[in-house]
Amino acid sequence: MNGKNSNHLGIDRTDQAVTPRIHADDQGTLTTRRSLLALAATAPAALVARSAIAEQSDEFAGAFGDLGNDRRSRALKVRIKAAIAQRRRRVGRAETNGDEQALPSLVGNYSKGLPHDSLGEVDRSAYGALLRAVTSADFADFEAIPLGGTAKLVTPMAAFAFQLEGADSHALRIRACPSFSSEEQAGELAELYWAALTRDVPFSLYGVDPLTTAAAADLRRFARFSDVTRATLFRGETKGDRVGPYLSQFLWLNVPFGATAISQKYRTTLAGDDHLVNYQDWLAIQNGNPPSTVNQFDATARFIRNGRDLGEWDQRDFTYQAFVCAALILLSFGPTAFDETSPYRSSRTQGGFVIFGPNDTLAIVAKAADCALKAAWYQKWALHRRARPEAVAGCVHNHLLDRRRYPINSKLLSSPALSRTFELFGSYLLPQAYPQGSPLHPSYPAGHATIGGACVTVLKALFDESRPIPAPKVAADDGLTLLDYTGEPLTVGGELNKLAANVGLGRDTAGIHWRSDGIEGLRLGEKVALSILRDLKNTCVDYSAGFRLTLFNGSSVTI
């Protein structure tokens, strides 16, 4: 969906779904040194909006001396340099998968909360109203979107919020999500059916339990999972994800919390607590009605030991809970836990606190999470609008029952996970861990994963990634105790990568996200964090070493 086009709903829109009201490109021509100085002195915010500043930044840098060297002028220089650097970023064309044009039924795109017919297909006029709103970015247009029930869409206008620390959300790119009929999406949905069927299998039995063995064998039929083994089933894709227990140490170890420590035993749901496998319940939820069932809770708190526990944790966590807990654990390791590039690792007279210390660490983690969500919301609402797995599973159900034919990849239709699901539940709907199914915003990328990618990236930049985790643990199969882990050494960097994957892919286990939502969310979050770190470095006094870290793809960078 590149360039301007008119879709089958008759709405002209661009691939970025924005208007001049949102991106004010009313650019003047600033050609003289005097005009640059006058603008710097009177309206610094306007500097970023003028292309001539970006094009003539060398001349402006030479004019900095005329601004003075008092504290306010130095602060202005820092802000202008950061703004110019962001303005000069190369921004490629946004790519989408084309489903919105290719499928008149719109089954490949997000529509939960809008009115649907008996097959779960969205009312086209209602979807047209959604498109008008994301094209105009006007509050009144969002207010005019018809809803199918009482549930409200989750902050779609956040897609157009400006981000002034790090890169603006509209300046970042991820690949187009897999299309409705692709083998890649078929493989991802097969993985989700298997994840639902194995929610109650302890992580320690992956590769031993017969269901997990069958899952790995089936998934290898798909190119996306051709190298999956029983040992790597449902895991993330970094090196750290493949070492040691399935779950990151940062989700098991006690969390230092001021004068106490918090045990990471959590409330979970009972085995077999699955939802939205009844067609009428499923249809009501697609229309935005409240669920007719509730979760059934275990009376005993447990350490996370299986997919159901992780999915339930992932439903109740606050925005960046896992990563602020990881930061508190890392801070408890002492000053030597920080990376060697920290100026206070070798300082004879100073210790870090306000910068390169606890206060700075916690603040950066929070900021990274906030910026990551803005970036994810732009991708979700303004660009991709990918359907949730529960919605596509409804198409699978109706297709297999000959109610409607859809262009579903044949490899998915032959997966034994579908027949096993029907035997258990009497439908081909994807069993959900949450009675309400997914939240009311599009699927791609995953917000949890984007936050995870951003937060662990800043933590890897601040802390020594190579440091071994002291006294690592693993949960017993009943989740009641933690046992000593005695396998291959676990490092801070590896366990942070694993933590990001656990938090992102744990939403897959619950049935509400696709694998590519999580993987691309991590990569988007990493981009967000790197842009924040670049700006942050320029605010640090006498800090020339730069931030050093390992990216998710295994390469090392210094900022």
Report pLDDT digits (tens) over 258-289.
Answer: 999 999 999 999 999 999 999 999 999 999 99
Residue 66 pLDDT? 66
Residue 27 pLDDT? 29
pTM of structure: 0.89
Report pLDDT digits (tens) over 194-242.
Answer: 999 999 999 999 989 999 999 999 999 999 999 999 889 999 999 999 9
Are residues 428 and 418 in contact, defined by beta-carbon separation less than 8 angstroms?
Answer: yes
How many angstroms separate the Cα of 512 from the Cα of each of 87, 156, 333, 393, 446? 36, 18, 36, 11, 10
Arithmetic mean of pLDDT, 336-342: 89
Residue 540 pLDDT? 74
Question: What is d(CA 160, CA 94) in angstroms, rounded to the nearest whole number?
Answer: 15
Architecture (CATH level 2) of domain 183-558: Orthogonal Bundle (1.10)
Asked whether residue 297 carries a pLDDT value surpassing 60, the answer given is yes
Residue 64 pLDDT? 57
Residue 41 pLDDT? 47
Residue 31 pLDDT? 33
Residues marked as catalytic: 441, 448
More confident residue, 47 or 290: 290
Report pLDDT digits (tens) over 471-499.
Answer: 999 999 999 999 999 999 999 999 999 99
Residue 17 pLDDT? 41
Residue 546 pLDDT? 85
Residue 63 pLDDT? 52
Res. 96 pLDDT band, cuts 50 70 90: very high
Res. 544 pLDDT band, cuts 50 70 90: low
Report domain extents, the chain. Answer: 33-87, 183-558
Res. 348 pLDDT band, cuts 50 70 90: confident
What tokens were used for 74?
Answer: 């130095």
Buried b (16+ CB within 10 A) or exposed e, 495-519: bbbbbbbbbbbbbbbbbbbbbbbbb
Lowest mean pLDDT among 227-231, 324-328, 392-396: 227-231
Asked whether residue 381 carries a pLDDT value surpassing 70, the answer given is yes
Asked whether residue 334 carries a pLDDT value surpassing 70, the answer given is yes
Residue 147: other Cβ atoms inside 10 A: 15
Q: How many Å from the N-terminal Cα to the C-terminal Cα in the chain? A: 34
Average pLDDT, the chain: 89
Res. 345 pLDDT band, cuts 50 70 90: confident
Asked whether residue 317 carries a pLDDT value surpassing 70, the answer given is yes
Residue 37 pLDDT? 42
> How many alpha carbons fall within 13 Å on the CB side of residue 325?
22
